[in-house]
Amino acid sequence: MLERNSIFRRGALLVAASLHALICATPAFAQSAADAADAVDVGKPSEATRPKVSKARGISPNATVNLVNLLVKQGVLSEEQARSLIDQAEKEAYVQRQATKDATAKAGDAAKTAAAASAAASPPGVKHVTYVPEIVKRQLREDIKKDVMAQAQKENWASPGVFPEWATRIHFYGDMRLRYRGIFYPDGNDQINAVNFNAINTGSPYNVSKAYEYYYPTYNVTQDRSQFRFRGRLGMIAELDDSFSVGLRFAGGENNSPVSQNQTFGAGGGNFSKYSLWIDRAFFKFRPVEEFSITAGRMDNPFWSPTNLVWYRDIGFDGFAAQGKYQVAENVTAFASGGAFPLFNTDLNAGINLPAYDYGPPSKLPSRDKWLFAGQLGVAAKIGADYSFKLAATYYDFSNVQGQLSTPCSVSSASDLCDTDLTRPSFAQRGNTYFPLRSIISTIANNGNQLNQFQYFGLAQQYRPVVAAAQADFGHFDPIHIVLDGEYILNTAFNGNLNTSFLANNVVGAIQDVFPGWYVGGRYGYLASATVGHKDIRHLWDWNVFGGYKYLGSDAMVDAFVDADFGLGGTNLKGYFLGGNLGVGENVWLALRWMSANNISGSPYAADVLHLDLNGKF
């Protein structure tokens, strides 16, 4: 034992000596400051005051580190003690080098300034030898030391490894999700009438003269599928000052769909080809006070919505939004949101020149810009320490999203245009009611057959829905909570008396050229769900389970923006869902969800979807 202590003492002394030599290899701060101060004398400094440059060779930091590692290997020092000694030596040496460098620079600048001032004030040929009292030198040393330490603290080079001040105002975040998706179709789905209107409107127009030859695109609603997918997102929030901040986020995805950032393995060309990256968020936020903010750009949904009945959970809004809140009483807060959001902006060069009929001048297609205007009022309250609730009412006005019937036009080829083509949706899922946009001039060929008639389809309804949402949180058994969510939507602009002879879907009982049938579109929807367990899954073994029921009529909401998972996306769906989450590490969790959906009206359609996810976030 005595021998081991003796070895330890000798080793510690050797380490201390080595580390001291490493630090001293950089000129000491105080002496450097003093020498720099002495060098400020105007004129040639004396040999006694000139800073000396040591010719001694400093001990190599690598040699010191190797020595410490050797002592660790012999058991004299622990690894923790060794790391502490090395870190301390490196930090002190770093500070000394930076301080000396700055002090020398300041002294040199002061000397030049003093020399210039003296030369300017003296007649030609006059020489001065300035005497600097010792008290002035000491004051100069202290001033330089304060300046150097202030700069070190501001720039954080006094503590290597610590981010500079500007970097502390930037926050990075992100998440990753791996998913298995199983799609299961029951027997009885109507494959013939599962028309994919989005494929028609975003691609070549559909030739309605061949309608009975089944050339139109359809969804596959009969073959079960298994897919492996992933979602990756990386974002940044930067605080510019006390009021302004900016945000930027990138996300993957098979396309620029507003309701999915998922990428299917093997899709997009397959053969291990790379995947696309999209700008998912890009905004400025102005928050002059804690209770009010204005955001412009591509942002998160600014309207509180506890479920995915109305909006896909991760949808991004483009435009301008203002949000505010006000405490009206103890534990009672009112909140409000409003904004304007462009849905579609006509290209300045949209379309080609229309034909010049009757020798008139050609013209461009008219602008067909589409907007969403919305406002929300709500209240949040807490009752005691264990119970809280939240209520909100929101009004949405989708402007110019309804299709417009064109003036008579001839479209014998897929490249021909009509004047209301731009009123068709630029993206859609399924469920909304459509009608043919083009008023086509019927043309008969010499053989008596009708020539090609290429058609686009527009939304038959206007959309001005009112949404009521509520959430109740029972936290008596915290951290276990019981959370009840509910949401109801009603399209106040719904027209239930559409002329069914012009509709392309959501009609039953129609007999060709005999009876137009009945319009079966729906104007309302609702969702109710309950969740039991931890509100947030952050730690190992955190858990929750949930279940609920969903009903969403065909024209209660624009189907482009609703949940893309339930029934594989869209409106005109009803059914139940259930699932749960389990934490398997810090910020890592498994999720399981089963969704069973059926068409509310129209042709038979049903889909069961299973999700098994591995999630991680930072």
Decide: 233 and 250 in contact? Cβ < 8 Å.
Answer: yes
pLDDT for residue 244 is more than 90: yes
CA distances (Å), origin 290, targets 168, 326, 424: 20, 10, 42
Q: Among 80-84, 119-123, 304-308, name the one with the lowest average pLDDT.
A: 119-123
Q: Element (H or E) spanning 29, and its range? A: helix 29-38
Convert the pLDDT of each residue in 387-398 to its tens digit.
Answer: 999 999 999 999
pLDDT for residue 269 is more than 90: no
pLDDT for residue 70 is more than 50: yes
- Specify whether 91 is located in the same domain as 65: yes
- Section 369-374 average pLDDT: 96
* Composition of the chain by helix, strand, coil, percent to 5: 25, 35, 40
Task: Count the neighbouring beta carbons within 10 Å of the beta carbon of residue 332.
Answer: 13
- Specify whether 111 is located in the same domain as 201: no
Residue for token digits 């209240």? 379
- Specify whether 195 is located in the same domain as 274: yes
- Specify whether 203 is located in the same domain as 136: no
pLDDT for residue 287 is more than 90: yes
pLDDT at 308: 96
CA–CA separation, 486 and 479 (whole Å): 22
- Specify whether 511 is located in the same domain as 387: yes
- Section 368-384 average pLDDT: 95
On average, the pLDDT of the chain sits at 83
Nearest one of 526, 522, 546 to 534, comparing CA atoms: 546
- Specify whether 346 is located in the same domain as 220: yes
**Which one has a higher pLDDT value, 365 or 125?**
365
Q: Among 18-22, 114-118, 519-523, 564-568, name the one with the lowest average pLDDT.
A: 18-22
pLDDT at 4: 46
Q: Among 162, 183, 216, identify where a domain stops.
A: 162
- Angle at the Cα of 305 (from 301 to 308), degrees rounded to 5? 95
pLDDT band for 129, please (50, 70, 90 cuts): low
Q: Among 162, 183, 210, identify where a domain stops.
A: 162
Enclosing domain of residue 150 = 2-162
CA distances (Å), origin 361, targets 300, 353, 416: 46, 9, 18
What's the distance, Cα to Cα, between the start and end of the chain in Å?
A: 49
Convert the pLDDT of each residue in 327-355 to its tens digit.
Answer: 999 999 999 999 999 999 887 766 555 55
- Section 308-325 average pLDDT: 97
- Section 232-248 average pLDDT: 95
pLDDT at 509: 74
**Which one has a higher pLDDT value, 604 or 159?**
604
**Which one has a higher pLDDT value, 292 or 83?**
292
If one counts the domains in the chain, the total is 2
pLDDT at 24: 46
CA–CA separation, 139 and 437 (whole Å): 86
- Specify whether 177 is located in the same domain as 227: yes
- Section 291-314 average pLDDT: 97
* N residues, the chain: 618
pLDDT for residue 429 is more than 90: yes
pLDDT band for 546, please (50, 70, 90 cuts): very high
- Specify whether 354 is located in the same domain as 502: yes
pLDDT at 341: 98
Nearest one of 376, 217, 251 to 305, comparing CA atoms: 376
pLDDT band for 516, please (50, 70, 90 cuts): confident
Query: For residue 602, what is the domain's CATH number?
Result: 2.40.160
Tokens of 458: 């527009």
pLDDT at 612: 98
Task: Count the neighbouring beta carbons within 10 Å of the beta carbon of residue 585.
Answer: 11
Nearest one of 598, 603, 468, 604 to 524, comparing CA atoms: 468
- Specify whether 133 is located in the same domain as 16: yes
The amino acid sitting at 87 is D
pLDDT band for 43, please (50, 70, 90 cuts): very low
Q: Among 115, 145, 162, identify where a domain stops.
A: 162
- Specify whether 129 is located in the same domain as 211: no
pLDDT for residue 609 is more than 80: yes
CA–CA separation, 520 and 470 (whole Å): 29
- Specify whether 410 is located in the same domain as 520: yes
Between helix 134-155 and helix 29-38 the angle, nearest 10°, is 130
- Specify whether 139 is located in the same domain as 204: no
- Section 65-83 average pLDDT: 72
**Which one has a higher pLDDT value, 274 or 614?**
614
